[in-house]
Amino acid sequence: MSLPILTITLNPAIDQTVQLDHLATGRVNLASGVRHNAGGKGINVASCLADLGLSVMATGFLGQHNEPIFQELFAAKGIADHFIRLPGDTRINLKLVERDGANTTDINLPGFAVDECAMTQLGARVAALVQPGQQVALCGSVPSTLPATVWANAIGQLHTLGCEVLLDTSGAPLNHALDTNALSLPDIIKPNRHELEDWAGHALDSTDELLAAQEAARIGVVEDARQAG
Protein backbone atom coordinates (compact mmCIF):
# COMPACT_ATOMS: atom_id res chain seq x y z
CA MET A 1 0.00 0.00 0.00
CA SER A 2 1.42 3.38 -0.97
CA LEU A 3 2.16 6.01 1.64
CA PRO A 4 -0.26 8.93 1.95
CA ILE A 5 0.82 12.24 0.47
CA LEU A 6 1.40 14.99 3.04
CA THR A 7 0.66 18.64 2.28
CA ILE A 8 1.96 21.48 4.45
CA THR A 9 0.27 24.90 4.51
CA LEU A 10 1.74 27.65 6.69
CA ASN A 11 -0.66 30.45 5.67
CA PRO A 12 -4.15 29.05 4.93
CA ALA A 13 -7.20 31.21 4.29
CA ILE A 14 -10.96 31.19 4.14
CA ASP A 15 -11.90 32.38 0.66
CA GLN A 16 -14.96 34.63 0.78
CA THR A 17 -16.26 35.04 -2.76
CA VAL A 18 -18.70 37.92 -3.26
CA GLN A 19 -20.69 38.06 -6.51
CA LEU A 20 -21.53 41.48 -7.97
CA ASP A 21 -23.21 42.68 -11.13
CA HIS A 22 -20.44 45.24 -11.51
CA LEU A 23 -17.81 46.57 -9.09
CA ALA A 24 -18.11 50.35 -8.74
CA THR A 25 -15.18 51.64 -6.70
CA GLY A 26 -15.90 54.40 -4.22
CA ARG A 27 -19.62 53.55 -4.16
CA VAL A 28 -21.99 51.23 -2.31
CA ASN A 29 -22.21 47.86 -4.13
CA LEU A 30 -25.07 45.39 -3.70
CA ALA A 31 -23.88 41.77 -3.69
CA SER A 32 -25.98 39.11 -5.40
CA GLY A 33 -24.40 36.22 -3.51
CA VAL A 34 -21.55 35.08 -1.29
CA ARG A 35 -19.87 31.80 -0.47
CA HIS A 36 -17.10 30.70 1.88
CA ASN A 37 -14.54 27.99 1.14
CA ALA A 38 -11.65 26.60 3.14
CA GLY A 39 -8.55 27.54 1.19
CA GLY A 40 -4.80 27.80 1.07
CA LYS A 41 -2.64 26.09 -1.56
CA GLY A 42 -1.82 23.01 0.46
CA ILE A 43 -5.43 22.54 1.51
CA ASN A 44 -6.56 22.91 -2.11
CA VAL A 45 -3.95 20.34 -3.19
CA ALA A 46 -5.07 17.92 -0.48
CA SER A 47 -8.69 18.37 -1.57
CA CYS A 48 -7.87 17.61 -5.22
CA LEU A 49 -5.80 14.57 -4.30
CA ALA A 50 -8.64 13.25 -2.16
CA ASP A 51 -11.04 13.75 -5.08
CA LEU A 52 -8.70 11.56 -7.16
CA GLY A 53 -9.02 8.82 -4.58
CA LEU A 54 -5.53 9.19 -3.12
CA SER A 55 -4.71 8.93 0.55
CA VAL A 56 -3.68 12.34 1.87
CA MET A 57 -2.69 14.01 5.12
CA ALA A 58 -2.57 17.76 5.74
CA THR A 59 -0.75 19.82 8.32
CA GLY A 60 0.34 23.38 9.01
CA PHE A 61 -1.40 26.04 11.09
CA LEU A 62 -5.06 26.96 11.60
CA GLY A 63 -6.66 29.61 13.79
CA GLN A 64 -8.69 28.25 16.70
CA HIS A 65 -11.58 30.68 16.34
CA ASN A 66 -12.81 29.79 12.84
CA GLU A 67 -11.69 26.21 12.28
CA PRO A 68 -15.08 24.49 11.70
CA ILE A 69 -15.10 25.23 7.95
CA PHE A 70 -11.76 23.40 7.64
CA GLN A 71 -12.89 20.51 9.83
CA GLU A 72 -15.98 20.07 7.65
CA LEU A 73 -13.84 19.93 4.49
CA PHE A 74 -11.41 17.40 5.98
CA ALA A 75 -14.27 15.17 7.18
CA ALA A 76 -16.11 15.35 3.85
CA LYS A 77 -13.00 14.54 1.81
CA GLY A 78 -11.41 11.99 4.14
CA ILE A 79 -8.29 14.12 4.65
CA ALA A 80 -6.30 13.24 7.77
CA ASP A 81 -6.14 16.47 9.81
CA HIS A 82 -2.79 17.07 11.52
CA PHE A 83 -2.97 20.89 11.69
CA ILE A 84 -1.66 22.75 14.70
CA ARG A 85 -4.20 25.20 16.10
CA LEU A 86 -2.99 28.69 16.98
CA PRO A 87 -4.80 31.44 18.93
CA GLY A 88 -6.85 33.77 16.72
CA ASP A 89 -8.52 33.51 13.34
CA THR A 90 -7.34 32.03 10.07
CA ARG A 91 -7.25 34.95 7.63
CA ILE A 92 -10.10 35.68 5.24
CA ASN A 93 -9.33 36.52 1.61
CA LEU A 94 -11.96 38.42 -0.36
CA LYS A 95 -12.72 37.74 -4.03
CA LEU A 96 -15.04 40.24 -5.71
CA VAL A 97 -16.40 38.53 -8.83
CA GLU A 98 -18.38 40.48 -11.43
CA ARG A 99 -21.30 38.59 -12.93
CA ASP A 100 -20.02 38.57 -16.52
CA GLY A 101 -16.77 36.95 -15.33
CA ALA A 102 -14.64 39.64 -16.95
CA ASN A 103 -13.04 40.83 -13.72
CA THR A 104 -12.16 39.39 -10.35
CA THR A 105 -10.68 41.60 -7.64
CA ASP A 106 -8.68 39.79 -4.95
CA ILE A 107 -8.07 41.29 -1.52
CA ASN A 108 -5.72 39.06 0.46
CA LEU A 109 -5.46 39.78 4.18
CA PRO A 110 -2.37 39.13 6.31
CA GLY A 111 -2.23 35.84 8.18
CA PHE A 112 -1.77 35.26 11.89
CA ALA A 113 1.62 35.47 13.56
CA VAL A 114 3.65 32.26 13.49
CA ASP A 115 6.80 32.21 15.61
CA GLU A 116 9.82 29.92 15.69
CA CYS A 117 8.34 27.99 18.63
CA ALA A 118 5.32 27.06 16.50
CA MET A 119 7.63 26.08 13.63
CA THR A 120 9.59 23.81 15.97
CA GLN A 121 6.33 22.16 17.00
CA LEU A 122 5.36 21.70 13.36
CA GLY A 123 8.77 20.24 12.53
CA ALA A 124 8.36 17.65 15.27
CA ARG A 125 4.86 16.79 14.04
CA VAL A 126 6.02 16.34 10.46
CA ALA A 127 8.95 14.17 11.56
CA ALA A 128 6.51 11.92 13.42
CA LEU A 129 4.19 11.66 10.41
CA VAL A 130 6.52 10.92 7.50
CA GLN A 131 8.42 7.83 6.42
CA PRO A 132 11.26 7.36 3.90
CA GLY A 133 9.91 7.53 0.37
CA GLN A 134 6.90 9.66 1.30
CA GLN A 135 5.86 12.54 -0.96
CA VAL A 136 5.44 15.93 0.74
CA ALA A 137 4.03 19.09 -0.87
CA LEU A 138 5.11 22.43 0.60
CA CYS A 139 2.49 24.90 -0.57
CA GLY A 140 1.70 28.58 -0.54
CA SER A 141 2.96 31.78 0.97
CA VAL A 142 4.96 32.23 4.16
CA PRO A 143 3.59 34.21 7.14
CA SER A 144 5.30 37.60 7.45
CA THR A 145 6.61 36.68 10.90
CA LEU A 146 8.77 33.89 9.47
CA PRO A 147 11.96 34.20 7.41
CA ALA A 148 11.73 33.70 3.65
CA THR A 149 14.14 30.76 4.04
CA VAL A 150 11.57 28.65 5.87
CA TRP A 151 10.66 26.46 2.86
CA ALA A 152 14.33 26.03 1.90
CA ASN A 153 15.09 24.85 5.44
CA ALA A 154 12.11 22.48 5.39
CA ILE A 155 13.29 20.89 2.13
CA GLY A 156 16.65 20.00 3.65
CA GLN A 157 15.02 18.52 6.74
CA LEU A 158 12.54 16.47 4.69
CA HIS A 159 15.28 15.10 2.45
CA THR A 160 17.14 14.04 5.58
CA LEU A 161 14.01 12.05 6.49
CA GLY A 162 14.05 10.42 3.04
CA CYS A 163 11.06 12.28 1.58
CA GLU A 164 10.42 13.49 -1.98
CA VAL A 165 9.53 17.18 -1.87
CA LEU A 166 7.28 19.24 -4.16
CA LEU A 167 7.42 23.02 -3.71
CA ASP A 168 4.61 25.33 -4.83
CA THR A 169 5.42 28.89 -3.76
CA SER A 170 6.65 32.17 -5.23
CA GLY A 171 8.74 35.26 -4.59
CA ALA A 172 11.52 35.24 -2.02
CA PRO A 173 10.67 31.79 -0.57
CA LEU A 174 11.03 30.28 -4.05
CA ASN A 175 14.24 32.22 -4.71
CA HIS A 176 15.81 30.94 -1.51
CA ALA A 177 14.72 27.35 -2.18
CA LEU A 178 16.33 27.43 -5.65
CA ASP A 179 19.49 29.31 -4.66
CA THR A 180 22.75 27.67 -5.75
CA ASN A 181 23.87 27.82 -2.11
CA ALA A 182 20.83 25.92 -0.87
CA LEU A 183 21.76 22.74 0.99
CA SER A 184 18.99 20.81 -0.73
CA LEU A 185 16.81 21.60 -3.76
CA PRO A 186 13.15 20.56 -4.14
CA ASP A 187 12.52 17.50 -6.28
CA ILE A 188 9.60 19.17 -8.07
CA ILE A 189 8.50 22.80 -8.46
CA LYS A 190 5.27 24.17 -9.94
CA PRO A 191 5.68 27.82 -10.87
CA ASN A 192 3.30 29.54 -13.26
CA ARG A 193 4.69 31.88 -15.93
CA HIS A 194 4.55 34.97 -13.69
CA GLU A 195 6.29 33.20 -10.80
CA LEU A 196 8.99 31.81 -13.09
CA GLU A 197 9.57 35.25 -14.64
CA ASP A 198 9.85 36.76 -11.17
CA TRP A 199 12.43 34.15 -10.23
CA ALA A 200 14.41 34.55 -13.47
CA GLY A 201 14.33 38.34 -13.25
CA HIS A 202 13.12 38.95 -16.83
CA ALA A 203 10.22 38.25 -19.19
CA LEU A 204 9.91 34.77 -20.71
CA ASP A 205 8.20 35.42 -24.03
CA SER A 206 8.66 32.12 -25.85
CA THR A 207 8.25 28.44 -25.13
CA ASP A 208 12.02 27.95 -25.50
CA GLU A 209 12.69 30.64 -22.90
CA LEU A 210 10.17 29.09 -20.51
CA LEU A 211 11.73 25.66 -20.92
CA ALA A 212 15.25 27.03 -20.43
CA ALA A 213 14.21 28.85 -17.25
CA GLN A 214 12.41 25.76 -16.01
CA GLU A 215 15.54 23.67 -16.52
CA ALA A 216 17.70 26.29 -14.79
CA ALA A 217 15.25 26.36 -11.87
CA ARG A 218 15.28 22.56 -11.69
CA ILE A 219 19.02 22.48 -11.06
CA GLY A 220 19.12 25.69 -9.03
CA VAL A 221 21.12 27.77 -11.49
CA VAL A 222 19.80 31.14 -10.35
CA GLU A 223 22.59 33.43 -11.57
CA ASP A 224 22.85 31.81 -15.01
CA ALA A 225 19.12 32.21 -15.61
CA ARG A 226 19.16 35.85 -14.56
CA GLN A 227 22.22 36.73 -16.63
CA ALA A 228 20.49 35.24 -19.69
CA GLY A 229 18.03 38.14 -19.52
Q: pLDDT tens, position by position, for the chain (229 residues)?
A: 689 999 999 999 999 999 999 999 999 999 999 999 999 999 999 999 999 999 999 999 999 999 999 999 999 999 999 999 999 999 999 999 998 777 899 998 888 899 999 999 999 999 999 999 999 999 999 999 999 999 999 999 999 999 999 999 988 998 888 875 556 789 988 877 777 777 777 888 788 887 777 777 665 544 333 333 4
Rounded Cα distance between 145 and 11, Å, is 11
To which CATH superfamily is domain 5-190 assigned?
Ribokinase (3.40.1190.20)
Rounded Cα distance between 225 and 206, Å, is 15
Query: Is 86:115 a contact under the CB 8 Å cutoff?
Result: no
Provide the pLDDT for residue 3: 94
Rounded Cα distance between 227 and 31, Å, is 48
Residue 162 CA to its chain's centroid (Å): 22
Q: Which residues pair with 14 in a beta bridge?
A: 38, 92
Output the pTM of the full model.
Answer: 0.86
